[in-house]
A and B are shown apart, each in its own frame.
Chain A
Amino acid sequence: LPLVKSSNSLSFSLQAKMSKPVQARRLEGTDKNIWVEFVKLATTYSTVNLGQGFPDFPPPDFLKEAFVRALSGENHMLHQYTRAFGHPPLVKILAQFFGKLLGRDLDPMTNVMVTVGAYQALFCCFQAFVDKGDEVVIIEPFFDCYEPMVKMAGGTPVFVPLRPKAPKDGKLMSSADWQLDPAELASKFSERTKAIVLNSPNNPLGKVFSRGELELIAELCVKHDVLCISDEVYEWLVYDGKEHIRIASLQGMWDRTVIIGSAGKTFSATGWKVGWTVGPNRLLQHLRTVHQNSVYHCATVAQEAVAQGFQRELELYRKPDSYFVQLPKELQQKRDWLVQSLDAVGMKPIIPEGTYFLVADISEFKSDVPDVPDSGEPYDSRFAKWMVKNKGLAAIPLSAFYCGAHKNNYNHFIRFCFAKEDATLKAANDILQKWKQEKTSP
Chain B
Amino acid sequence: TMAFRHKNTRRIEGLDSNVWVEFTKVAADPSIVNLGQGLPDISPPSYVKEELTKAAAVDRLNQYTRGFGHPSLVKALSQVYERVCGRKIDPLTDILVTVGAYGSLFSTIQALIEEGDEVIIIEPFYDCYEPMVKMAGAKPVFIPLRCKNNGSSASSADWVLDPVELANKFNSKTKAIILNTPHNPIGKVFTREELQVIAALCIKHDTLCISDEVYEWLVYKGNKHIKIATLPGMWERTITIGSAGKTYSVTGWKLGWSIGPQNLIKHLQVVHQNTLYTCPTPLQEALAQAFWIDYERMDDPACYFYSLSRELESKRDRMAQLLEGAGLKPVIPDGGYFMIVDVSTLNVDLSDVDDKQPYDYKFVKWMIRSKKLSAIPLSAFCGPETKKQFEKYIRFCFIKKDSTLDAAEAILKNWNKQTA
Which residues of A are at the interface with B, using a C-beta cutoff of 8 A? Answer: 2-4, 6, 10, 13-14, 16-18, 22-27, 30-31, 33, 35-36, 39, 52, 54-59, 64, 67-68, 71-72, 76-84, 116-117, 119-120, 123, 127-131, 145, 148-149, 152-153, 194, 222, 225, 227, 252, 255-256, 268-273, 283, 285-286, 288-290, 292-302
Contact = CB atoms under 8 A, between A and B. Distances in A.
Nearest to A6: B204
A225 B203 contact: no
Given A24-B112, A80-B40, A31 B252 contact: no
A285 B273 CA distance: 25
Interface of B: 2-12, 15-16, 18, 20-21, 24, 37, 39-41, 43-44, 49, 52-53, 56-57, 59-67, 99-100, 102-103, 106, 110-114, 128, 131-132, 135-136, 172, 203-206, 208, 233, 245, 249-255, 263-264, 267, 270-271, 273-283
A24 B24 CA distance: 34
Contact of B62 (A58, A76, A117, A123): A58
B111 A71 contact: no
B275 A120 contact: yes
A289 B15 contact: yes
B4 A225 contact: yes
B64 A293 contact: no
B275 A123 contact: yes
A200 B364 CA distance: 49
Contacts of A4: 204
B204 A3 contact: yes
B18 A292 contact: yes
A3 B106 CA distance: 30
B392 to A, nearest CB: 27
Contacts of A290: 12
A302 B281 CA distance: 11
B136 A24 contact: yes
B172 A14 contact: yes
Given A26-B110, A269-B62, A298-B254, A33 B273 contact: yes
B10 A131 contact: yes
Nearest to B256: A295
18 contacts: A2-B203, A14-B172, A16-B172, A23-B270, A24-B136, A26-B110, A79-B253, A81-B252, A84-B21, A116-B279, A120-B275, A152-B274, A222-B2, A271-B63, A295-B103, A297-B251, A299-B99, A300-B252
A44 to B, nearest CB: 13
Q: Which of B3, B9, B113, B205 has the most CB of A within 10 A?
A: B9
B311 to A, nearest CB: 16
Contacts of B113: 24
Contacts of A272: 62, 280-282
Contacts of B270: 23, 27, 30-31
Contacts of B131: 293
Given A27-B270, A79-B251, 10 more contacts: A6-B204, A30-B274, A64-B57, A76-B44, A79-B249, A79-B250, A123-B275, A227-B6, A273-B279, A300-B253
A272 B4 CA distance: 36
Contacts of A127: 9, 11-12
A2 B203 CA distance: 6
A67 B254 contact: no
Q: Which of B56, B111, B250, B274 has the most CB of A within 10 A?
A: B274
Given A84-B20, A289-B16, A271 B274 contact: no
B250 to A, nearest CB: 5
B5 A72 contact: no
A22 B280 contact: no
Nearest to B252: A300
Contact of A79 (B12, B44, B57, B60): B44
A33 B266 CA distance: 13
Contact of B64 (A13, A52, A288): A52
B59 A58 contact: yes
A131 B267 contact: no
Contact of B277 (A3, A6, A117, A283): A117
Given A256-B6, A271-B61, A295 B276 contact: yes
Contact of A80 (B65, B233, B252): B252
A71 B56 CA distance: 10
Contact of B6 (A52, A120, A129, A271): A129
A25 B106 CA distance: 16
Contacts of B106: 293-295
Contacts of B275: 119-120, 123, 294
A54 B279 contact: no
Contacts of A273: 276, 278-280
B238 to A, nearest CB: 13
8 closest cross-chain pairs (CB), A and B: A271-B281, A13-B172, A300-B252, A24-B114, A58-B59, A23-B267, A120-B276, A286-B8
A77 B314 CA distance: 22
Contacts of B283: 299, 301
Given A80-B39, A272-B62, A299 B204 contact: no
Nearest to B3: A225
A77 B42 CA distance: 8
Contacts of A152: 274
Contacts of A294: 102-103, 106, 132, 275
B282 A271 contact: yes
A222 B8 CA distance: 19
Contact of B52 (A129, A149, A297, A301): A301
A2 B206 contact: yes
B63 A54 contact: yes
B274 A145 contact: yes
Nearest to B203: A2
Given A145-B277, A289-B16, A295 B254 contact: yes
B276 A117 contact: yes
A283 B271 CA distance: 24
Q: Which of B10, B59, B110, B280 has the most CB of A within 10 A?
A: B280
B9 A225 contact: no
Given A14-B172, A152-B274, A23 B12 contact: no
A71 B62 contact: no
A22 B263 contact: yes
A160 to B, nearest CB: 21
A55 to B, nearest CB: 7
A390 B68 CA distance: 28
A27 B111 contact: yes
Contacts of B255: 299
Q: Which of A24, A298, A300 has the most CB of B within 10 A?
A: A24
